[in-house]
Structure 1
């Protein structure tokens, strides 16, 4: 079957988007207020009326244009951007270049525990002061 034939089959595009979102036909059916058989029929249809397409797009969390323009090649190209290991691209065209961690998470964890320790020691000091105050109060009576 040629790619040209597949590219205009709206039902297949809906099916692929649903699968990529790890959604079952039953879940889509529930979101649309219909049953699984109706979703199956939609996914086997070459065309879908605009009103139904709007409902499906909303249920899938995508735009109508995303469904109409969906292509397997586009998905593959999109995910290939995640596998490029050149994080030092100075032009900023690389997706991964903006995801470098600017701090050491372990250092942050150690900072958190140190701060927590200081707060606990301060709380303990306040409680000791309170106990001493109460003892002085009792002795004065």
Structure 2
């Protein structure tokens, strides 16, 4: 008879702990937001089930819906991460598909730059004229 060492997929406390870790939140911070002690959060994360009202509060602090905690599957998250990482170069690929033409944006910047330069040049010309007038008035 073979026993499975794999933990239950319905262990809400473990799901809360993993989501909290993924979000980079410490037990102390979660406890503070919930108005409980760090030990209480630790006990919650060891509990297989949690009252819906408490789960709603935890979900709000973690920034996820309560249903996301209930349906959280770490294996699925690992599979998603594994399928998006290119192991050949040890980095993830990022694809950027702009909804605009980048060359058009560059040309807009060039035109804006020209206008600013022309305004600066006009300002300098006006300063020179004022200086010339000031010198000639003496």
Superposition TM-score, scaled by structure 2 size: 0.70
8 Å contact from structure 1 (residues 12, 44) kept in 2: yes
- Give the match for residue 36 of structure 1: 38
Note the residue ranges of structure 2 that are not aligned, 5 or more in a row: 88-92
Does 2:131 align with 1:129? no
Please give the per-residue CA displacement for 1:37-83, whole angstroms capped at 9, x wherever unaligned.
Answer: 11101101111101100000010011111100111111112213422
1:2 offset after TM fit, Å? 4.4
- Give the match for residue 80 of structure 2: 78
Please give the per-residue CA displacement for 1:67-116, whole angstroms capped at 9, x wherever unaligned.
Answer: 0011111111221342269xxxxxxxxxx79x335577xx95xx858854
1:129 offset after TM fit, Å? 1.8
Note the residue ranges of structure 1 that are not aligned, 5 or more in a row: 86-95
Secondary structure at the counterpart of residue 6 of structure 1? coil
8 Å contact from structure 1 (residues 6, 12) kept in 2: no
Secondary structure at the counterpart of residue 30 of structure 1? helix
Judge which range, 56-65 or 22-31, deviates more.
Answer: 22-31
Does 2:57 align with 1:55? yes
Structure 2 CA distance for aligned equivalents of residues 84 and 138 of structure 1:
70
- The alignment covers a number of residue pairs equal to 127
